[in-house]
């Protein structure tokens, strides 16, 4: 038993006063003489004993009544747990990611969880609630009801570690409070670590039950083929369970229906649909299906921008036919010139410049290429291997970057090592290849510095890069190497060319760091903007201006999946599309195991009922008042009826 006002218990010392009064009463009995002394003596003894007993009973009943009144004012109570009397700090994490659109027993999981919070938390109880994107500090249900009802679905989902760290920052440093973290989430299986309990914090994880695991999503889209007049687009769909029925799929250009197809799962969990679209064409596209479960993955936005080729210039003193076959229209505009005919004033029109085995690169060319690369251009150096050219190339490399040819080496060497982690080989190889047909080189320079891309069998460098400069260690003419006939040459040079102007892909993902280039020449201090519609406030993305392009980086925005326009003032430059990550579409959930200081449940109502029982305080003061009245009645009965 505990007391709300234990200081009042000191009043119990006052009970000693009536005891002292009773013990030190000084009244004496008078004796009267009678003829029959023996008889009177007997009567006198009986009277004194009965008076003493009555007085003691009266004293005890009065003291008991007074003690009960003092105890009642001290407000005694008892609790089921030791933490019931502590001040509470409650922090709630509410998962509002797209997977919480899944249907529970009472509708979508997010709406169901919000309604349970509103009904279970007392209106005046203060707590802090945070979602994947927002934090609502020190609120009550009464003051924030409308805000909580309007919590939206969002794409990003905080990982367990981030949830724990954010909650830890919200809790105070007060060691006397009872800290409770309530996590409301469907807890999807994404290969992430489990929730770790916080020190001195009681963690409760509520995993609402999902009524159905059925869901179909549009997972991805890619260009699977092309011809002179058309492009073949392939859309991939997935289902959470094997299906025998077909799903209609539509492709739109803005609001115009281009075509319809059917995804045939054939008792599988994946299906694909092919569409033919005209090429070249500017399409602001959308792939759509009808599915009543998760709605965010029923549409996939994409953009096709025609007429934006990469401008490639090759300055030649060797055969360039292999280059013209790689850099073909419509993706590239290839120009080959002799060094003697090169116009330095036109250099900023190009995105990629290739030096094809120049015998003596001049200092003027080196300075022009340095300015070109600093403005975002990419340079590829294919050297002419000779003792006479070594000094000139080292002067060029010194101007462009921290690279150097150290010596010439004769004798056949095999190119055997590929740096699969380099960006130009992204999506080129499914796995590391150990037994491909190794290209051979007869004469080359020893090359040092930069990030190695291709290496010889003796660990020497065949191709390296630093910043925006790519350098081969040998000439690529047929007399010196068979690299032109090797499968490696096409993806290597093609991807170097594509990297020189990073045009947007079919679509990008929101909440990721994305970088792409817009081919435009802007006046100084001017900017491009991004907007979904012409009548909305445009976004100003992070951008870097070069002589013939603008490099744009997006991270935190845009937050919404849609098609966006990149514009300069009122001039449309190109389209860009963003989609949500599809990881939320997979309705696979973790099986939670009990752990120390961590409780799991599937119902918020059940959790709050448990917490209410733990916090319940049973007040006992009424009983002590009743006992006080009973003792007063006992005293009155003693005084009236005790003879």
Provide the residue ranges of all domains of the chain, joining segments of one domain with +. Answer: 2-78+622-641, 88-212+587-615, 310-499
Question: Roughly what angle, to the nearest 10 degrees, separates helices 604-615 and 109-120?
Answer: 20
Element (H, E) at 619: strand 617-619
State residue 217 phi and psi, 5-degree precision. -135, 150
CA distance 98 to 295: 8
Question: What distance in Å separates the CA atoms of residue 310 and residue 307, rounded to the nearest whole number?
Answer: 10
How far apart, in whole angstroms, are the C-alpha atoms of residue 600 and residue 603? 9
* Residues 540 and 529: beta-carbon distance below 8 Å: yes
Helix (H) or strand (E) holding 443: strand 440-448
The answer to whether 403 and 448 have CB atoms below 8 angstroms apart is: yes
Tokens of 468: 């925006």
The residue assigned the tokens 């250009």 is 253
- pLDDT for position 557: 82
* Whether the domain at 88-212+587-615 and the domain at 310-499 fall into the same CATH topology: yes
Q: What is the reported pLDDT for 618?
A: 56
pLDDT score of 598: 78
Give this prediction's pTM.
Answer: 0.70
Of 3, 630, 596, 582, the closest CA to residue 301 belongs to 582
Contact 156, 558 (CB under 8 A): no
CA distance 300 to 208: 28
Structural domain 310-499, CATH architecture: 3-Layer(aba) Sandwich (3.40)
Beta bridge partners of 456: 415
Which tokens sit at 198? 């916080």
For residues 183 and 204, the answer to whether their CB atoms sit within 8 Å is yes
Q: Which residues of the chain have pLDDT under 50?
A: 26, 40, 44
88-212+587-615 belongs to CATH 3.40.50.410: yes
On the CB side of 188, how many CA atoms lie within 13 Å of its CA?
Answer: 20
The backbone region for 500, taken as left when phi is positive above 0, alpha when psi lies in -120 to 50, beta otherwise, is alpha
3-class DSSP assignment, residue 440:
strand
3-state secondary structure of 522: coil
Query: What is the C-alpha separation between 246 and 365, in angstroms, rounded?
Result: 61
Half-sphere exposure of 321 (CA within 13 A, CB side): 4
pLDDT score recorded for residue 49: 62
d(CA 271, CA 48): 108
Gap between the Cα atoms of 295 and 102, Å rounded: 9
User: Quick one: tokens of 103?
Assistant: 């249907």
Sign of the CA dihedral with 557 first, then 561, 564, and 566 last: positive
Residues in the chain: 643
Find tokens 């009986």 and name the residue: 46
């Amino acid at each position: 038993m505990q007391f709300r006002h234990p200081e009042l218990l000191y009043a119990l010392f006052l009970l000693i006063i009536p005891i002292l009064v009773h013990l030190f009463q000084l009244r004496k009995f008078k004796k009267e003489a009678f003829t029959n002394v023996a008889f009177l003596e007997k009567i006198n003894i009986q009277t004194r004993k009965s008076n003493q007993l009555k007085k003691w009973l009266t004293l005890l009943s009065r003291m008991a009544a007074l003690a009960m009144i003092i105890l009642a004012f001290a407000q005694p109570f008892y609790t089921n747990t030791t933490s019931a009397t502590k001040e509470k700090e409650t922090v709630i994490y509410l998962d509002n990611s797209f997977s919480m659109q899944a249907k529970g027993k009472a509708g979508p999981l997010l709406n169901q969880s919000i309604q349970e919070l509103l009904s279970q938390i007392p209106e005046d109880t203060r707590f802090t609630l945070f979602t994947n994107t927002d934090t609502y500090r020190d609120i009550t249900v009464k003051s924030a009801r409308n805000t909580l009802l309007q919590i939206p679905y969002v794409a990003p989902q905080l990982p367990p570690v981030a949830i724990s760290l954010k909650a830890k920052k919200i809790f105070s440093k007060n060691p006397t409070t009872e800290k409770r973290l309530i996590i409301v989430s469907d807890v999807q299986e994404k290969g992430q670590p489990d929730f770790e309990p916080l020190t001195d914090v009681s963690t409760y994880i509520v995993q609402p039950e999902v009524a159905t695991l059925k869901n179909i999503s549009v997972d991805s889209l890619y260009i699977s083929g092309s011809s002179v007049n058309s492009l073949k687009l392939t859309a991939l769909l997935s289902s959470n369970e094997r299906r025998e029925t077909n799903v209609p799929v539509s492709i739109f250009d803005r609001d115009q229906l281009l075509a319809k197809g059917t995804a045939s799962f054939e008792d599988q969990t994946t299906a694909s649909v092919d569409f033919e679209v005209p090429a070249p064409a500017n399409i602001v596209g959308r792939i759509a299906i009808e599915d009543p479960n998760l709605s965010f993955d029923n549409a996939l936005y994409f953009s096709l921008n025609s007429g934006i080729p990469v401008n490639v210039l090759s300055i030649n003193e060797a055969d360039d036919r292999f280059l013209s076959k790689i850099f073909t229209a419509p993706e590239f505009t290839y120009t080959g010139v002799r060094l003697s005919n090169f116009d330095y004033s036109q250099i900023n029109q190009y995105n990629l410049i290739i030096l094809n085995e120049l015998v003596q690169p001049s200092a003027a060319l080196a300075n022009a290429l340095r300015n070109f690369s600093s403005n975002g251009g990419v340079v590829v150096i294919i050297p002419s291997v000779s003792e006479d050219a070594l000094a000139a190339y080292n002067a060029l490399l010194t101007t462009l970057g921290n690279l150097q040819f150290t010596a010439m080496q004769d004798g056949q060497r095999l190119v055997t090592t590929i740096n699969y982690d380099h960006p130009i080989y992204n999506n080129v190889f499914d796995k590391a290849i150990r037994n491909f047909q190794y290209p051979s080189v007869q004469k080359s320079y020893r090359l040092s510095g930069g990030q190695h891309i291709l290496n010889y069998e003796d660990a020497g460098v065949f191709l390296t890069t630093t910043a925006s400069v790519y350098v081969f260690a040998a000439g690529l003419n047929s007399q010196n190497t068979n690299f032109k006939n090797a499968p490696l040459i096409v993806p290597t040079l093609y991807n170097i060319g594509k990297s020189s102007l990073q045009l947007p892909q079919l679509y990008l993902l929101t909440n990721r760091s994305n970088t792409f280039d817009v081919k435009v020449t802007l006046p100084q201090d001017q900017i491009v903007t991004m907007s979904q519609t012409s009548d909305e406030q445009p976004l100003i993305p992070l951008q870097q201006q070069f002589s013939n392009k603008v490099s744009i980086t997006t991270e935190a925005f845009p937050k919404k999946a849609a098609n966006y326009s990149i514009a300069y003032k009122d001039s449309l430059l190109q389209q860009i599309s963003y989609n949500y990550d599809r990881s939320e579409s997979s309705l696979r959930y973790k099986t939670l195991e009990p752990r120390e200081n961590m409780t799991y449940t599937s119902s918020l109502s059940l959790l709050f009922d448990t917490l209410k029982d733990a916090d319940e305080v049973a007040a006992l003061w009424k009983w002590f008042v009743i006992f006080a009245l009973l003792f007063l009645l006992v005293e009155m009965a003693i005084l009236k009826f005790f003879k």
